[in-house]
Homo-oligomer: A and B are copies of this chain.
């Protein structure tokens, strides 16, 4: 099978900064925006950019992610000559290895990539919310005859020292890379999106690992090596909405921004749809005791309480007298009567008993998947 470009999504991380939300599944599988899981944005970007062969590298609690991705049918990836392949650790004659870093994970999956025979390899993270046409980036890569192209976004100067910063020349060539510099020389932050000429990356990785030269991470090892080796490394500028959702605070913020859809993500644009696995669920039922404002609600919800500026995911039930404000309720969660929830993220399949109060006014409150808070609601 010959492909011009395939994508590999690094979805291995536990995402421990998401606390209890990732205790039993990987970060890319965390629900988002009522209808999605985080990885849906990256997968949909691929499909919308015309990339139909995707490897998803994962090693932490992959069951939810595997179930979600399945055969890729939800993204049209079960098409002829297309597919999504979950890549987990395995053993071979040389022994068995866990993935030790982003570049090492690619090295361990050379066989998969070779079997797809791509000219270009697109490396992605599975934990950002954004819409981006990777095909445009590929055009940049080809025009510049680059060996490596890194997508960059300009961040506010005062935040630049939290990112990997790319210093570029007047041709947009990257001449220096600094990981979280104390005194950044530019505000061009790496988005963790790379296009490599596969044969070059392959030989760099094989050479390094054979000789035990450290080449574990893209940011720490590979990009500096490329720059030092005189390979053509270019930046591709991106200016749309882009949000890392790696912390509770940023995940909550991204969800809140998502509600009003005024952040430039333009999620209702059907020419660049965000695909996801659709559950089988009846329409939402807003009863005569409910009020719902400035909120998003999806199939299977039963709402008898008051919802203000919040997101309710599939099959959430909220009984009478309860208030949900500035919060995200993940799928399958049941909320009893006279409950108050403010500035919170409530995980999947949580049960919250009558009269409970969850107040995240100071710091966003989190309830982990499957937890039971207070008395179970009456089964009336």
Using a CB–CB distance below 8 Å, which chain A residues touch chain B? 14, 23-24, 58-63, 66-67, 70-73, 78, 83, 85-86, 88-93, 96, 98, 111-112, 115
Task: Say yes or no: A63 contacts B115, CB within 8 Å.
Answer: yes
- The reply to whether B92 and A66 contact each other, CB–CB distance below 8 Å, is no
Pick from A24, A86, A90, A92 the residue with the most CB of B within 10 Å.
A90
Provide the bound-state CA to CA distance between A379 and B264, in Å.
58
Chain B neighbourhood of A96, CB < 8 A: 59, 89, 98
Q: State whether A90 touches B90 (Cβ < 8 A).
A: no
How many copies of the chain does the oligomer comprise?
A: 2
CB-CB nearest 10 A-B residue pairs: A71-B71, A88-B88, A89-B89, A62-B90, A60-B91, A61-B92, A63-B111, A59-B91, A59-B90, A96-B98
Nearest neighbor of A78 in chain B, beta-carbon distance: B71
Q: A88-B89, A88-B90 are in contact. List 14 more A-B contacts (CB 8 A).
A: A14-B93, A24-B92, A59-B89, A59-B91, A60-B91, A60-B92, A61-B91, A61-B92, A62-B90, A63-B115, A70-B71, A71-B72, A71-B78, A88-B88
Q: How many whole Å from A74's CB to the nearest CB in chain B?
A: 12
Q: How far is the CA of A71 from the CA of B84 in the complex (A)?
A: 10
Q: A98 to B89: give the CA distance in the assembly, Å.
A: 9
Establish whether residues A66 and B89, one from each chain, have CB atoms under 8 Å apart when the complex forms: no
A70-B71, A71-B71 as given contacts; A58 in contact with B115, CB under 8 Å: no
Q: Are A58 and B98 within 8 A (Cβ)?
A: no
Distance of A96 Cα from B67 Cα, bound (Å): 21
- Smallest CB gap from A98: residue in B: B96
What is the bound-complex CA distance between A115 and B98, given in angstroms?
A: 25
Taking the nearest CB of chain B, how far is it from the CB of A363, in angstroms?
23
Residues of chain B with a CB closer than 8 A to A63's CB: 111-112, 115
- B23 near A58 with CB under 8 A, answer no
Interface centre among A23, A58, A60, A62 (most CB of B within 10 A): A62
Which one of A60, A71, A78, A96 has the greatest number of beta carbons of chain B within 10 Å? A71
* Contact yes or no, B59 A93, CB < 8 A: no
The answer to whether B70 touches A83, judged by C-beta atoms less than 8 angstroms apart, is yes
CB distance from A106 to the nearest CB of B (A): 15
- Cα A91 to Cα B59 in complex, Å, equals 6
Write the nearest CB–CB distance from A295 to chain B, whole angstroms. 30
Instruction: State whether B86 touches A89 (Cβ < 8 A).
Output: no
Bound-complex Cα distance A92 to B24 (A): 8
